[in-house]
Amino acid sequence: MKKLSTYGLLLVASFGFAQEPIVHDPVMIKEKGTYYLFCTGKGISCFSSKDMKNWTKEPSVFAEKPKWADSVVPNFENHIWAPDVYFHNGQYYLYYSVSAFAKNTSAIGVATTPTLDPKASNYKWTDHGIVIQSQPNRDLWNAIDPNLIFDENGTPWLNFGSFWDGLKMVKLNPDLKSIAEPQVWHTIARRARSFDLADANPGDAALEAPFIFKKDNAYYLFLSWDYCCRGEKSTYKVVVGKSDKATGPFLDADGKDLFQGGGTLVIEGNKNWAGVGHNSTYTFDGKDYLVFHAYDSNDKGKPRLKIKEINWKNGWPTVSPME
């Protein structure tokens, strides 16, 4: 085996080839044999790979912060959260979150491009601005962590949310850039709150990051319980519910409604990996995958990309435990 120089080792580490890249809130899509990963970061971080193992850092989606961001969060620093990516009618749609930490001063925007390949001549992200916005003193929900799903009739829905009074879903117009009128909303998951301070605190109803995945004739709502972003002290875990409709109700394996706090455990942390969560779910080449982040307890709590193949048992997703 050819020996790497110190410089070569540094390159490998910085570009994420030697181990999983450092990411939060990963989503993934495949275009022409290349996987593209988008995640929380400066201008929305992006990586590419041919095999889902060796990753190359690509340019961020936004070199400069969206023009509207300061109207939501004053002096916004272009640290954009929790994207979602979807291909529809020849365009890639990227939904993303602009928010103040631990507040529902938030908005979800959307940008489009005809290709994800930065080297292509037609590569260009066009921002279309705010899709939905939450405001303190008005809303008991938080406009972050977006995920797009089409229902059994081909109607687009945006599901999203974090803490407060649960995870929401709203019908979109066919352009996928705006809320349909008259507005149709659903609460698809919630956990009991021990108090009700709508504007001062998100409460202890710790759930966020909905992701709906269709398998055969069923819709699976994956979400994260408990706390992210605390390094080795993070307590995130992934749970799931199931429905025959994209809009729910979603029930866990014991028949409990996710609206009533239900959720069947998919994966959680251990002594080596903390805060396992904020997943996305996909089918690539006939196999289903769970994509998520986990904090490495043996490396100062750094958040690493994790990808596990999903197996199905009696209609429910299972993955191997963290090692």
Catalytic machinery residues:
25, 208
Contact by Cβ (8 Å): 267, 319: yes
> Rounded distance, CA 226 to CA 207, Å?
6
Q: Are 308 and 282 in contact (CB under 8 A)?
A: no
Place of tokens 């529809």: 88
Query: What is the residue type of 322?
Result: M
CA dist 193 → 22, 205, 207 (Å): 32, 5, 11
DSSP state for residue 306 in the 8-state scheme: E
Residue type for 123, please?
Y
Q: Is the peptide bond before 156 cis (omega within 30 degrees of 0)?
A: no
Integer Cα distance of 305 and 294 in angstroms: 7
Q: Evaluate whether 295 touches 231 at the Cβ level (below 8 Å).
A: yes
CB atoms within 10 A of CB 315: 11
Report the distance separating Cα 69 and Cα 76, nearest Å.
6
Q: Which of 90, 81, 137, 261 is nearest to 189 (CA)?
A: 261
Pick from 151, 46, 142, 54: which is nearest to 98 by CA? 142
Burial of 15 per CB tally in 10 Å (0-12, 13-18, 19+): middle
Cα-Cα-Cα-Cα torsion 251, 252, 255, 259, nearest 10 degrees, comes to -50
